[in-house]
A and B are shown apart, each in its own frame.
Chain A
Amino acid sequence: MQSLPAIPDIFKLKRGSGSPQRFQDRLTIFLFLLPAIILFLLFVIYPIFQSIYYSLFNWKGFGPATDFVGLSNFKNILSDKVFMIAIRNGLFIIAFSLCLQLPLSMLLAVLVGRNMPGRVFFRSIFFLPYVLSEVISALMWLFILNPDPERGFINALLILIPGVKAQAWLGNTSLVMPAIFAALTWKYFGYHMLLFMTGLQNIPAEIEEAARMDGANVFQNFFFITLPLLGGTIRTSVYLSVLGSIQQFILVWIMTKGGPVNASETMATYMYRFGFVRFQLGYGSAVAIYMFLFCLMFSLIYQRLTRQPDYLTGL
């Protein structure tokens, strides 16, 4: 007769290599991962390699690509003034998002606080624009930014101020980016506010209480207690904000199509214009590669700088 092994050993024995359970586990792993991996490789990873290939050709999209041009697409993009405008606008959106939108979201999150009556109401309203589609948001802003004060609400308010004239917000090369930024802020500040509200929730109330007991005023409390403890949330928020700014497309495309005279072009509208309007697919692919590289570079540098493996964590 065999002696009965202890329970943990049964457990190990049953899952040892070569056992039917082990085989079953492997089959499970394989079958569970397979559909996600196939779809992911086919529609996310494979296209990247395809566009690397096509970016080396001058290709209009019909028939096989034969006109090999090497890296000249990449060179031409960098010497295109419009692409530089697109990069400048990207930096504009990033800078203003970080300097205005994020502090605003944080301020509102702090104002709403932990247990203020009406907290849920404010959160729901502020978050509403984020849930509405980009098409709807863009059209609503298109309406209120109308240059005619009889049709555009913002101008109707503006001309009430003596000496101020109605502005063609989206038709003026120096006003178009601020106008688009206003729409972007309207749509996205609620999301960042939500992140900060969650971050604040995770700070134990006792810490702030203790500081108040020790005589810290509201501002000291905020700058020396709350802000440092929100570090992780701020990093996440900055990361998402920058990646979001790099790829801004629908809002801009519907409101201005990148105009007037390319003044509101972003990298994504630039790529769309060459890829889907002019059908210069090789050139468009090269633009896509640049955007990939910007996103990748930013992600890697950001991870290195913050040493915060939060959003892109591996195992």
Chain B
Amino acid sequence: METYRPRMNWGKFATRFLQYFILSVIVVLVLVPIVILIFGALKTRGELLSHPYALPIPPRWENIVAILSKASYSFWPMLRNSLVVMVAVTFGVVILCSLAAFVFARMDFRGKGLAFNLFTLGLMFPINVAILPVYFVLRQMHLIDSLWGVILVQTAFQISGNIMILRGFFTAIPSELQDAAYIDGCTAFDFFWRILLPLARPALSAVAALTMIMSWNDLLVPLIVLNKDKYWTLPLGTMQFQGQYGTDLSLVSAFVALSALPTIIFYLFAERQIVSGLTAGAVKG
């Protein structure tokens, strides 16, 4: 028995070591593209050409400063457009989806199954597949070159998934609460507004966090809707910037790094919400 114990510990230690070793290798692989990008962003053009992989010591902030200050790079207007779209889409999705999810989770009516299946249909038609048909409709409605076009389409394609997520959360709230509220004379709206929504705050913030990420990162919808550069969002602007200044790798790296920064900061703060939203969407359905 006494010889058995240490041996097991040794085996445990070896497994742990192997575990950490493999995971660390993957961490390095994941970080390589990001680190290379940051290195490039913090070097001058000449430094990047002469010492492409050296540490950026001392860091050169020229490119970063140029992008933040030069009006012709229009970093700030793009940031503003992205923010406008993101805020509008997030509000739209949270409001529309919680209203609809409430009805599907908590109320009965004829044709409920049909209506619900209509929305599940949306899960099978991702925006990448539907983009050309959507373009026709936007053109008919004169929504080309308008942030409204982007907002409406992004919202519409977020509806299905988020109704499913919220319905799952809403169904989990005990129905006794609803009975009690009705007996006390609440209308359905009172129950929804005063009892259900406050209870579902974690779910709402998960949906909001997911929607923000999706909207902020989306390139496809802005790409087909926004031709004029004054409307460009950050992802679209980043792509165009690479096309225009592609030869100056350090400048492009700086732009890409700067446009990644808001996402990374947001991720650090909202990781829990994002993760819970994604797993709820996939597991609960």
Contacts and interface: CB of A to CB of B under 8 A. Distances in A.
Contacts of A311: 123, 282, 285
Given A111-B19, A236-B283, A136 B156 contact: no
A126 B267 CA distance: 13
A14 B16 CA distance: 64
Contacts of B249: 143, 151
Contacts, number: 270
A134 B219 contact: yes
Contact of A281 (B26, B49, B136): B136
A82 interface: no
Interface stretch (A36-44, A84-92, A94-102, A170-178): A36-44
Interface string B190-222: 001000000000000000000001001111100
B177 interface: no
Contact of B27 (A28, A32, A125, A246): A125
Given A133-B217, A143-B253, A32 B187 contact: no
Interface string A27-68: 011001101110110111111101100100000000000000
A283 to B, nearest CB: 10
Interface secondary structure of A, over-half rule: helix
A40 B285 contact: no
A135 B131 CA distance: 17
A136 B275 contact: no
A296 B121 CA distance: 9
Interface secondary structure of B, over-half rule: helix
B79 interface: no
Contacts of B122: 40, 44
B90 interface: no
Contact of B99 (A35, A237, A268, A315): A35
A254 to B, nearest CB: 6
B155 A133 contact: no
Contact of B115 (A24, A33, A39, A44): A33
A188 B136 CA distance: 31
Interface in A216-243: 232-233, 236-237, 240, 243
A6 B159 CA distance: 42
B253 to A, nearest CB: 7
B159 A40 contact: yes
B116 interface: yes
What size tier do the contact residues of chain B reach? 35 or more
Interface in B55-89: none
B152 A272 contact: no
Interface in B119-177: 119-126, 128-137, 152-153, 155-157, 159-160, 163
Nearest to B242: A139
Nearest to B128: A247
Contacts of A190: 30
B42 to A, nearest CB: 14
Contact of B128 (A124, A232, A268): A268
Given A28-B187, A35-B99, A126-B30, A42 B285 contact: no
A75 to B, nearest CB: 19
B188 A315 contact: no
B274 to A, nearest CB: 7
Interface of A: 7, 10-11, 14-15, 21, 24-26, 28-29, 32-33, 35-37, 39-40, 42-48, 50-51, 54, 108, 111-113, 116, 118, 122-129, 131-137, 139-144, 150-151, 153, 156, 186, 190-191, 194-195, 198-199, 232-233, 236-237, 240, 243, 246-250, 254, 268, 271-272, 275-276, 281, 284-285, 287-288, 291-292, 295-296, 299, 310-315
18 contacts: A43-B137, A43-B152, A44-B130, A50-B137, A51-B132, A118-B20, A128-B30, A133-B216, A140-B33, A142-B242, A143-B36, A195-B278, A240-B282, A248-B128, A254-B239, A288-B131, A296-B124, A314-B117
